[in-house]
Structure 1
Amino acid sequence: METLSLLFGPLLAGDRLLGVISIQSNRQHAYGDRERFIFKALCAYAAIALDNAAAYALTESAQQETHAALMELRQMQRDLIEREKLAALGSLVAGVAHELNTPIGNSLMVASTLHEGSEEFLTLVSQGQLRKSQLEQFCRNTQDASGLLMRNLEKAAALVNGFKQLAVDQTSERRRVFNLRQTCEEVSLTLAHLLQRAGHELVVDVAEDVALDSYPGPLGQVLSNLVINAGLHGFAGRQGGHMRLSARVLEAQQVLLCFEDDGHGIAAEHLDKIFEPFFTTRLGQGGSGLGLHISYNIVRNLLGGSITVSSTLGQGTQFEIVLPLVAPGLGEALS
């Protein structure tokens, strides 16, 4: 087509040039003031439309990227939480080995002594040299040895049953009615080898008649995390630390669990951050920054309670956990 009239108009979004619109005609002087005014308005509207479309496409892309990043972060968090659970289970296994060593070692020693005594007794019998006093002594020794053997094996059996229950609880979220003191003592027993090795002491002061209808495994994980956190941070670089775990029943069918230590304490600027994921003052030194975050989520979202912290630098730290004696249903807790 032969072009005798031609207009060009820039598509401007602020100071940015997005493009150009041109209109053409085969007539001379085809565009007067009215047409030029309409053309300028068309260019302005087109520029706004193009800019909005680009912004929307960018926003949609950013949303997709953000969603993908969030999904990846959640998966990474799930993986890290599973690793924390496996680490807790590893600590449990170490506790089993350490605590069973004494009763089983004693049992082996008693059994060995009893075996040697039996061989000597049979030798005397076969040689016809057994006297009444030797028979009586053998019977007394056998009775004492069997009693000691029974006590050690019963202790080992009780430890195995306790650890078995604790292992089942810590690797599941099974709800049941349980004794709070027993659960606290099982946690203390599990971590005893770690505390003894570092020269720390944990005192459990919980009444024997407090029962909860809740989740003992996740609660045990919370308490374990508090003890391990105190050892890692509160007593860093020192031995002889003291910890105390106490509980008392409140009104409105609640129980207050208090865990306190006489460690280094927490700086004021860190108190508001310690429950945040991946926050740690010992990055690369054994701290993952997930222990207290996991504990916070368990207390709030599963056990239906609350957890708070108070501390003065140089004077130790105190965690207070308020839990209902009867945990809410899972949907209620999450809401």
Structure 2
Amino acid sequence: MRWIVMVLAMWALSGPLQARQRYWDADYDSLARTLPRQTADSARLRTIVHLLDLRPTNAEARPLLGQLLVLNQRLQTLDDAPYRRLRAGLLLWDRSSPAALDTMKAAINEFDRVGRPIPWLLINLVSLYNQQNDMAARKKYYEEKLTYYRLHNATENITACYISQGAYYRRMGDYNRAINSTLRAADTALLFSNKLHINEIIVTGGLYADWGNNAKAVQYLSQAQAMPEFRRVQGTNRVFTFLALSKLFGQQKRYPAALRSADSALAAHVSDPSEQQVDRACALVQKAAVLLQMRAIDQAAPLLQRAQQLDDSLDLPMSSGPGEFEIDATLAQYYVAKGDYQRAEKHWLLAYRKATAARLDRLRPKYLQQLAAFYDARGQMVEAQRYSRAYIALADTFRTAQAAFNVAQYEGERIEQAQNSQINNLRQAQAVQAVRLRLGNRLLLGALLAVLLVSGLGVFIYRQLRVNRRNLAQLRQTQSQLVQAEKMAFLGELTAGIAHELQNPLNFMKNFAEVSSDLVEGMHGEGAARSADLEQEILSGLKQNLQQISQHGQRASSIIKGMLEHSRSGTGRREPSDLNALAEESLTLAYQGLRVDDKSFEATLDKEFDPRIGAVAVVTQDIGRVLLNLCTNALHAVRQRQHEARSGAAYVPTVLVSTRRPAGRTVEIRVKDNGTGMSAAVQAKIFEPFFTTKPAGQGTGLGLSLSYDIVTKGHGGTLTVESREGEGTEFLIVLPA
């Protein structure tokens, strides 16, 4: 009976959902063909409203709005104030009036007032913001509208806001948040439009391709193509799919596949005439770019010529159509291949200026890099260095601003939400089982009182209890597996942190290596005519770059070494060890190591060792690593305070290492210094991985984290710290004896 009720409930819920999807996935052209055949005014009005919901701003919207207002004047079945405001906004839009944006926003407010979903109107409003080049106002508007629609549970409009936000973050070059927004749009679109859902899956694949994560790009684009609904995707979205695949195949040097995808984009059906011209221009440029990669220069020329003609007649902005219209960058590559460097320079500079004016931050680093390479190849070293520095600064700014990895954060959130849902279901199932167990116990008590009369019932209840206990055990086992999955998720976060820490030094090494390569090529560009001063300047720049590469390489090596030590900690065999000798040796080694780098440094080393401590079973290598790390940190702290002390100040750097065996089965090791000390905020984070107070490039932040794991996890002890700023620090190790 329970299953019958559940099936009926699912059937009742699926009906409205399917009707909702049929409404928003309806074919516009088929719907438009049915309009002239309808004779009843009410049916005509419903069809016109449906057409305007699907395409509220295209060329056919103006006459449809006129028919709607005339029909509604007779029928009086809907509040037509939003449609009147929409018609006024479209008229201003046609005249390119600055007031069009405010009027269209007022129309959206009117639709919100009557509770009418208008996802496509919200999406198309982006064009007006782009025309005014007011990105800050655009971002603020869609954030406010998203908050409003969340409060009112307006699913269609929430999806539209996520789509608009994704396009904004892509334009700004913030791929992490762009993908987060498009995935959220894809998830919410499932509730009302399969077509829009697959569109956002396609966009996610394109974003990952632009971000450089080709594996994820292939995953999402292949997922979209495998969906049955993909054959229904037409227009700009279909063109976007094939252009994204063409760019991806071009990056992988799979040129035949890249050409086929570009041809598919050119052959895609686009019903809207204005969109058709824009999409065709973008497809022509992409196919020409693939041909230039293949060195087929003469075949690329007519394609670029047709694209330029479309641009001249339509005055296409860079951000129009299925992606960016990169006609100038492609023409620059063409003229470089032809050896016409004057025209190539003109188009490279024009491409960079257009990207800057349109605030397309994702294209600016690419164009700066291309300009630096272009001037370097021409031997114009001053210009090459200027654009190289601008590229490095801009790239570092973007990486710092995003502070993310090449897998969007929302994908992790999706997995976490699924796991939380499973855990909640298990908890509910456990509660049901607990109730059933209590009920079974009561029934068993009643059966014992009347065992002769209800013996059969008692046997049934006993068997049911066994089944319930077995189910409860299975639920507990599943819960343990989920806890283990959460631990693995934490391991994934830690691995992502390592990747993030390694990314910065590797990027610096790559950038300095590229600049050095450019400088070396520049040394041989002018032959004997080069002055000795310029060569000396180039050699000096090479030396500085090599020093930077070495420093960042050492930092990457120290990060890897620290994590390997993390993975090996606690894996050795415990043996009886003399902790007094081990502590003295560690202090001496740390002092000698610091004196190698700074021969002027001197400190007082105090030792207070308890002879009663005896031999303690520890992993000697691991405890030695902990003591060496603590002694090194203490010496660094007293040296730093000595440098900060004013001239003539009576300060004696002192480090004390002591051991003690108090009453009970424990031993204590203390490392105390009179150095700079730490604030309470620093003490709270001191044992976290990758946390360090040392200057950038001088510490990995793994030493104390590793020491903490060795003492607590590897030996079952404790590692604590007490410190006061300006007075000193004391670390206390307590180990079981």
| TM superposition score normalised by structure 2 | 0.26
User: Structure 2: how far apart are the matches of 1:17 and 1:237?
Assistant: 57
Q: Which residue does 1:73 correspond to in 2?
A: 497
Q: Does 1:299 align with 2:711?
A: yes
**Separation in 1 of the partners of 2:660 and 2:413?**
51
| Cα distance in 1 for residues equivalent to 2:608 and 2:703 | 23
Q: CA deviation at 1:292?
A: 1.6
Q: Which of 633, 656, 661 is the matching residue for 1:229?
A: 633
Deviations along 1:71-115, one digit per CA (max 9) or x if unpaired, are: 34346689645535999xxxxxxxxxxxxxxxxxxxxxxxxxxxx
The one-letter code matched in structure 1 to 2:694 is: R
Following TM superposition, by how much is the alpha carbon of 1:255 offset from its aligned partner in structure 2, in angstroms? 1.4
Corresponding residue SS for 1:47: coil
Matched residue, 1:83: 561
Q: Do the aligned partners of 1:247 and 1:256 also contact (CA within 8 Å) in 2? A: yes
1:298 is aligned with what amino acid?
A: I
| Aligned position for 1:283 | 695
Q: Which runs of 5+ in 1 are unaligned?
A: 19-43, 88-168, 326-335
Q: CA deviation at 1:261?
A: 0.6
CA distance in 2, matches of 1:182, 1:318: 20
Change (3 A) 1:70 1:287: closer
Contact 2:657 2:669 in 1 (8 A): yes
Counterpart-to-counterpart distance in 1, 2:159 and 2:671: 64
Change (3 A) 1:46 1:279: closer
| Pairing partner for 1:202 from 605, 618, 623 | 605
Question: Which residue identity lines up with residue 661 of structure 2 in the other structure?
Answer: V
Partners of 1:85 and 1:204 lie apart in 2 by 31
Partner amino acid, structure 2, of 1:189: T
Corresponding residue number in structure 2 for 1:40: none
Q: Is 1:193 the counterpart of 2:592 in the alignment?
A: yes
Q: Is the 8 A contact 1:299 1:305 kept in 2?
A: yes
**Does residue 262 of structure 1 match 2:407?**
no
Q: Does 1:217 align with 2:583?
A: no
Instruction: Report the CA distance between 1:61 and its aligned residue.
Output: 6.8
Using the alignment, how far apart are the partners of 1:255 and 1:274 within structure 2?
23
Give the partner amino acid of 1:204: K
Specify whether residues 308 and 49 from structure 1 end up closer, same or farther in structure 2 by C-alpha distance, changes over 3 A only.
farther
Query: Aligned-pair distance for 1:231?
Result: 1.9
Mapping for residues 164-183 of structure 1, pairs under 5 Å = 173-183=572-582
Taking the aligned partners of 2:498 and 2:564, their CA distance within structure 1 comes to: 18
Aligned CA distance change for structure 1 residues 286 and 251 (closer, same or farther; 3 Å): same
Hey, what does 1:15 align to over in structure 2?
A: 157
User: Does 46-55 or 182-191 show the bigger shift?
Assistant: 46-55
Mapped to 1, the partners of 2:572 and 2:723 lie a distance apart of 31
Map of 2:192 onto structure 1 = 47
CA distance in 2, matches of 1:257, 1:191: 16
- Aligned AA (2:603): H
What secondary structure is seen at the aligned counterpart in 1 of 2:640? coil
Unaligned runs of 5+ in 2: 1-29, 54-116, 120-154, 161-188, 202-219, 221-407, 416-488, 503-555, 643-650
Partner of 1:111: none
Number of corresponding residues: 218
Instruction: State the alpha-carbon separation in 2 of the partners of residues 297 and 74 from structure 1.
Output: 17
Query: What secondary structure is seen at the aligned counterpart in 1 of 2:607?
Result: strand
| 2:730 matched residue in structure 1 | 318
Higher strand share: 1
Is this contact kept in 1: 2:666–2:735, CA < 8 A? yes
Gap change, CA 1:243 and 1:62, over 3 Å in 2: same
Measure, in 1, the Cα distance between the counterparts of 2:678 and 2:634: 11
Shift of 1:311: 1.1
Separation in structure 2 between the aligned mates of residue 85 and residue 264 of structure 1, nearest angstrom: 28
1:14-36 residue CA offsets vs partner (Å, 9 max, x unmatched): 52466xxxxxxxxxxxxxxxxxx
Q: TM-score normalized by structure 1?
A: 0.52
Counterpart of 2:722 in 1: which secondary structure?
Answer: strand
The share of aligned pairs that are identical, in percent, is: 27
Q: Which structure has the higher relative contact order (CA within 8 Å, separation 6+)?
A: 1
Preserved contact between residue 170 and residue 217 of structure 1 (Cα < 8 Å): no
Contact residue 243 and residue 261 of structure 1 kept, 8 A? yes
Checking the alignment, whether the CA contact within 8 Å between 2:635 and 2:655 is kept in structure 1 is: no
Q: How do 1:134-153 and structure 2 match up within 5 A?
A: none
SS in 2 for 1:229: helix
Deviation string, structure 1 residues 119-161 (Cα, Å, up to 9, x no partner): xxxxxxxxxxxxxxxxxxxxxxxxxxxxxxxxxxxxxxxxxxx
Task: Indicate how the Cα distance of structure 1 residues 17 and 185 shifts in structure 2: closer, same or farther if over 3 A, else same.
Answer: closer
1:48 is displaced (CA, Å) by 8.3
Determine if contact 2:634/2:675 at 8 Å carries over to the other structure: yes
Cα distance, 1:46–1:284 mapped onto 2, change above 3 Å: closer
Task: Please tell me the residue identity of whatever aligns with 2:192.
Answer: A
- Determine if the alignment matches structure 1 residue 308 to structure 2 residue 720: yes
Q: Which amino acid aligns with 2:574?
A: R
Quick one: distance in 1 between partners of 2:496 and 2:641? Answer: 36
1:99-114 to 2 correspondences below 5 Å: none
Amino acid of the structure 2 residue aligned with 1:222: V
Residues 206 and 188 (structure 1 numbering): CA distance in 2 closer, same or farther, change over 3 Å?
same
Structure 2 counterpart of 1:219, one-letter code: I
CA displacement at 1:294 relative to structure 2: 1.9
Residues 213-265 of structure 1, C-alpha deviation per residue, up to 9 Å, x if partnerless?
11111111111111111222343152841111112224441112111111121
Amino acid in the other structure paired with 1:231: L
One-letter identity of the residue aligned with 2:632: I
Match of 1:150 in 2: none
| Distance 1:195-1:201 versus aligned 2 partners, 3 A rule | farther
Q: Distance in 1 between matches of 2:559 and 2:573?
A: 18
RMSD of the TM alignment (CA)? Answer: 4.4
Q: Work out the CA distance in 2 between the residues paired with 1:187 and 1:170.
A: 18
- Assess if the C-alpha contact under 8 Å between 1:81 and 1:294 holds in 2: no
Q: Secondary structure at the match of 1:236?
A: helix
Relative to structure 1, is the Cα distance of residues 270 and 60 closer, same or farther in structure 2, using a 3 angstrom cutoff?
closer
Distance 1:170 1:284 in 2: 26
Q: Aligned with 2:721: secondary structure? A: strand
Alpha-carbon spacing, 1:45–1:299, altered in 2? closer, same or farther (3 Å) = closer
**In structure 1, what is the Cα distance between the partners aligned to 2:652 and 2:569?**
28
Contact 1:174 1:217 in 2 (8 A): no
Partners of 2:714 and 2:582 lie apart in 1 by 17
CA distance in 1, matches of 2:662, 2:191: 68
- What's 2:549 paired with? none
Separation of aligned partners in 1, 2:709 and 2:684: 15
User: Which one has a bigger Cα radius of gyration?
Assistant: 1
Return closer, same or farther for 1:83/1:202 CA change in 2, 3 Å cut-off: farther
Distance 1:187 1:45 in 2: 62
